[in-house]
Structure 1
Amino acid sequence: MKDENIKTAARLLLGTGLIFAGISHLTFARKDFKAQVPDWVPLKIDDTVVYSGIAEITLGGALVLAPKKYKATTGKIAAAFFTAIFPGNISQYVNKRSAFGLDTDGKRFARLFFQPVLVYWALKSTGNVK
């Protein structure tokens, strides 16, 4: 039972973090998030940030509130989302765009290694990885 409690806490923390990140997309951190939008995205930069913020709020809410029978599916969707936005982190590194305190190539490069952690976290906390 202890393992299940840890997974639940991790899922709730991830969901709450996504909600916070989504709100920050729409408010105080919008400029920083614009730095991560790759040049090849066909939408306006601000629209991309707003839509991704809405997606994060929705996904975070699902991780927190979804019934147990949808937990694994929600985790897979979250992992896919983290994978889909990874090009933004690569773009920030390649284009040397400073945001979120990532103001050196080393910091931007180190950030790239955190995205797989989020993918694993989404899968593990929702029972997709044993």
Structure 2
Amino acid sequence: MKTNLVQTIFRVLLGAIMTLAGIGHLTFQREEFLAQVPRWLPTDPGFMDFVVLSSGIVEITLGLLMIFLAKHKAKVGIALAIFYILIFPGNISQYTNGIDAFGLDTDQKRLIRLFFQPVLVLWALWSTAGWKYLKTVIKK
């Protein structure tokens, strides 16, 4: 699927953001990301840390693929969009449980944050032509 220069720039930017976020999971923002592990999952500290670390590895992988695997960018964009949907319960949990992290220290800020997840999904699909790819697959 073809994309234009603006889409390519936004794809690489999103890949860089994801890679940095993934590194944050493993290092300097590890505690902050613990706040986003849904509280309906086991709250054993070791398990929660595993969730943070493994999601960080997934984020680094998807971020690097967004940057360097241009040949399959549409499929990577779809995978990233699905990932954003899968981790959304963590954002909901942070809001419903009133957990402070990433400067989200009020219910209003946590609620506003929820509306940015669909933007990320759309960004991943638009910047990679994932929408176009899905349309062609569905038509078959």
Counterpart Cα distance in 2 of 1:101 and 1:40: 23
Q: Cα distance, 1:39 vs. partner?
A: 1.8
Counterpart Cα distance in 1 of 2:110 and 2:58: 24
2:24 corresponds to: 24
Higher helix proportion: 2
**Unaligned stretches of 5+ in structure 2?**
133-140
1:104 corresponds to: 106
Where 1:101 maps in the other structure, the secondary structure is coil
| Equivalent residue runs for 1:60-71 within 5 Å | 60-68=63-71, 70-71=72-73
Determine if the alignment matches structure 1 residue 120 to structure 2 residue 140: no
Determine if the alignment matches structure 1 residue 129 to structure 2 residue 95: no
| CA deviation map 1:67-87 (0-9, x unaligned) | 42x111001000000000000
Determine if the alignment matches structure 1 residue 41 to structure 2 residue 41: yes
| CA deviation map 1:40-70 (0-9, x unaligned) | 22571100000000000000000001142x1
| CA deviation map 1:102-126 (0-9, x unaligned) | 0000000000000000000000000
**Unaligned stretches of 5+ in structure 1?**
none
Where 2:104 maps in the other structure, the secondary structure is coil
Counterpart Cα distance in 2 of 1:38 and 1:119: 20
Counterpart Cα distance in 2 of 1:67 and 1:29: 29
2:135 corresponds to: none
**Matched AA of 1:106:** Q
Q: TM-score, normalised by structure 1?
A: 0.94
Counterpart Cα distance in 2 of 1:62 and 1:124: 16
Aligned residues: 127
2:93 corresponds to: 91
1:55 corresponds to: 58
Q: Cα distance, 1:128 vs. partner?
A: 2.2
Q: TM-score, normalised by structure 2?
A: 0.87
2:137 corresponds to: none
Where 1:100 maps in the other structure, the secondary structure is coil
